[in-house]
Chains A and B, each alone.
Chain A
Amino acid sequence: MATTLEPIAVGAKQSPLFKFVRRNPTIVLGTSLLVFMTLVAIAAPYIAGDPLFQAPVNRLRAPDAQNWFGTDHLGRDVFARTVHGTRISLIVGITVATISVSIGLVIGLVAGYFRRVDGIVMRFMDGLMAIPGILLAIALVALTGASLFTVVVAIVIPEIPRVVRLVRSVVLMAREQPYVDAAISGGSRSVKIIRRHILPNTFAPLIVQATFICASAILVEASLSFLGAGIPPQTPTWGNMIAQSRLNLQRAPWTIFFPGAGLAMVVLAVNLLGDGLRDRLDPRIARRM
């Protein structure tokens, strides 16, 4: 990242906040964008009208003072729909990241610490990794019917192996540390060793990984909706909006441009935050990537 080559702060009298912003521009930019989007998501009903209200007379209107982002083929307000779409994207991103990190953490700790199960678990993870995530998610949603819950589960499953591999590699490294040997010879029980001595090592890489999972989950959810295997079409999600407006690209590009810009903005914010956190939390990789 460009930020790895930060100039050494020159002025001696800088406030701590200014220094933090200067040293971590990506974290600050990503976080501010995310806070802004979260506020938009929470305040959606107050700042925008009804995303489902149809006014066929006003169909495919270009952006103007009344409909800031124009209207779609059913006369629905694109601004209201874009603003409400923020909600699903953030919910999916955050839930998928939380669930897959939690499940992956447990499996990874077990596989890394108890060597007997390691072989089987990791072969399964290798197999799962080879299956293209989007296709697996499509199949699961098509099979069980579209809902927010199914979509979240379908995105979580392909993400788990990545977390397991990361956690396992950290555990394998931590196991070799003298303090773990000391704890073992001191007679601590396995559960306690894992919790006290191994688990804390996983936090920094997991936080970074969680942001990247969040970004990828938002993209996959949008892709699933776009392909017609996601959140039910009446719900205003960015993927659904773009899928329903594809035939109007020439006449009404704003129906695709605004939800697309929303998506890009959220994912960019999460990615910037992730890059920044990685630079800060893992200086070893930071130098390289």
Chain B
Amino acid sequence: MIAYIVRRLLSTVPVMFIVAVCVFLLLHLAPGDPAAIMAGDNATPQNIAQIRQKLGLDEPLWRQFGTWMFSLASGDLGESMFWRTSVTTLIGQRAEPTISLAITTIIFAVVIAITLGVVAAWKAGTGIDRFVMGFAVMGFSVPVFVVGYLLIYCFAIWLRWLPVQGYTPIEEGLGPWLRNLVLPTITLGLVYVALIARITRATMLDVLAEDYMRTARAKGVATAPMLLKHALKNAAVPIVTVIGIGVALLIGGVVITETVFNIPGIGRLVVDAIQRRDYPIIQGVIMVFSGIYVLVNLLVDLSYTFFDPRIRY
């Protein structure tokens, strides 16, 4: 098992290498001159040349690629044009709010979605089932920022139950931290709930049709243990897979949610970088988020043995 984990960890290296190649090629072969865009509208040719030199854009492509790969391998994501600090430091400073939001969202979404999916499959064909599936289609269709503003309008402006926006660090107390995270969590989690609820319902329907489920019912297992122990555990592998794939949705959503709720996290860092044309930040954050995606999906793969001991490595 440990040998397998090590092997899988090593196998992420080539994937990340290809991610780096893709990011490099796409951003360097794209038309447009990043130096000119960064310099702004009233820059002199000297300014542009200076920036180009500073970013190493005047060097041949293969050497730029080599330099970039070398610094990536040593954990260096370059230096921000605006802040004049290393991108790794900036990401570190902004990590807490984003990690908090990610954790609350995943917990919220997984708990709600699996409950909805299990109930929908159990009551398949009834009004509850239709409601859950209708809710899932809505969740896929309403954009994250529209959900966010609707929630702010309802619960913060109109009912005044929760703060409109902002973030309180966790050191200042669990209560204030959580109060600020409630609306962003629901906003970001909605698509994720829709995605997971759908796959949960689908796999549960398959499992509920199995012979051993009929046996369980016949020998008189109570409903809750039957659904959870017998059915849900057997349906877990596809569900966990989708939870992993869905992290991509979360990453896109984090950027938007942090903008809507004015949360000073990594997503805000990127959005501010767009306005300032701070190109190394955008590139660095893409690499970090891609790495997180790859790692989460590795964890998902490893979790299969836990849910289904027949899968051995």
Contacts and interface: CB of A to CB of B under 8 A. Distances in A.
A223 B256 contact: yes
Contact of B270 (A130, A135, A272): A135
Contacts of A250: 153, 157
B290 A140 contact: no
B162 to A, nearest CB: 14
B252 A268 contact: no
A223 B143 contact: yes
B137 A271 contact: yes
A262 B90 CA distance: 37
Given A135-B252, A227-B271, A130 B286 contact: no
Interface string A242-270: 10001001100100110010011001100
A135 B255 contact: yes
Interface residues on B, range: 35 or more
A256 B144 contact: no
Interface in A190-220: 215, 219-220
Given A138-B274, A139-B282, A127 B143 contact: no
Interface in B221-266: 248, 251-252, 255-256, 259-260
A135 B286 contact: yes
Contacts of B31: 144
A124 interface: yes
A128 interface: yes
Nearest to A267: B141
Interface string B23-38: 1001100111010010
A260 B282 CA distance: 27
Contacts of A123: 14-15, 18
Interface residues on A, range: 35 or more
Nearest to A144: B32
Nearest to B153: A253
Contacts of B141: 215, 264, 267-268, 271
Contact of B23 (A131, A257, A288): A131
Contacts of B26: 136, 139-140, 157
A249 B15 contact: no
Interface string A116-146: 0000000110111011111110111011110
B279 A132 contact: no
A45 to B, nearest CB: 26
A168 to B, nearest CB: 17
Contacts of A131: 19, 22-23, 286, 290
Interface stretch (B68-76, B175-183, B198-206): B198-206
Nearest to A120: B18
A133 B124 CA distance: 34
Interface string B55-82: 0000000000000000000000000000
A275 interface: yes
A130 B293 contact: yes
B286 A139 contact: yes
A135 B282 contact: yes
A8 interface: no
B46 interface: no
B96 to A, nearest CB: 20
30 contacts: A2-B133, A126-B18, A127-B19, A130-B290, A131-B290, A132-B248, A132-B286, A132-B293, A135-B285, A135-B289, A136-B286, A139-B286, A140-B26, A142-B37, A142-B279, A144-B31, A145-B37, A222-B143, A223-B252, A242-B146, A249-B153, A253-B153, A260-B149, A264-B138, A267-B141, A268-B137, A268-B141, A271-B137, A288-B206, A289-B202
Interface of A: 1-2, 5, 123-124, 126-128, 130-136, 138-140, 142-145, 157, 215, 219-220, 222-223, 226-229, 242, 246, 249-250, 253, 256-257, 260, 263-264, 267-268, 271-272, 275, 287-289
